[in-house]
C-alpha cells in the first residue's frame, strides 16, 4: 500500500454535493503526473466491487486522466468536486 494512502482520518469520506461517500480515499496531492493516476490504479484494487474511491489530487491533469482511465477499464467516473487547491475525484469500482 502506498504511503500516500491515508486510512486513519479518511477511511470513509462524507457524502458531498450529491456524490456518494467513499469506501476509500486516496490522497495524491503534491504528486506530479502520472503519479495520481498510478495511485488511483493501486487504490481502486482496495475498494470492494460496487464501492467508491475518492482520489484527492492537486494536479489538474488528473481530472482528465482518471475519467478516461475509469471508462477504459470498466469503472464509472461519478464526478469531481473542486476544492481550494485540489480536486476530489470519485470513481465507482465495477469489477
Residue 68's pLDDT is what?
97
Catalytic residues, by residue number, are: 33
Are the beta carbons of 46 and 2 closer than 8 angstroms?
A: no
pLDDT at 7: 37
pTM for the structure as a whole: 0.83
The rounded distance, in Å, linking the Cα atoms of 72 and 8 is 31
CATH superfamily of 24-92: TusA-like domain (3.30.110.40)
In the chain, domain spans: 24-92
Can you give the pLDDT of all 95 residues of the chain as single tens digits? Answer: 443 444 333 434 445 668 889 999 999 999 999 999 999 999 999 999 999 999 999 999 999 999 999 999 999 999 999 999 999 999 999 99
SS (H, E, C) the chain: CCCCCCCCCCCCCCCECCECCCCEEEECCCCCCCHHHHHHHHHHCCCCCCCEEEEEECCCCHHHHHHHHHHHHCCEEEEEEEECCEEEEEEECCC
Amino acid at each position: 500500500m502506498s504511503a500516500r494512502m491515508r486510512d486513519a482520518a479518511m477511511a470513509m469520506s462524507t457524502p458531498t454535493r450529491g456524490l456518494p461517500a467513499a469506501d476509500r480515499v486516496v490522497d495524491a496531492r503534491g504528486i506530479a503526473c502520472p503519479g495520481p493516476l498510478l495511485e488511483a490504479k493501486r487504490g481502486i484494487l482496495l475498494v470492494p466491487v460496487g464501492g467508491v474511491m475518492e482520489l484527492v489530487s492537486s494536479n489538474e491533469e488528473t481530472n482528465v486522466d482518471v475519467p478516461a482511465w475509469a471508462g477504459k477499464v470498466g469503472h464509472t467516473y461519478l464526478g469531481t468536486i473542486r476544492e481550494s487547491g485540489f480536486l476530489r475525484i470519485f470513481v465507482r469500482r465495477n469489477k
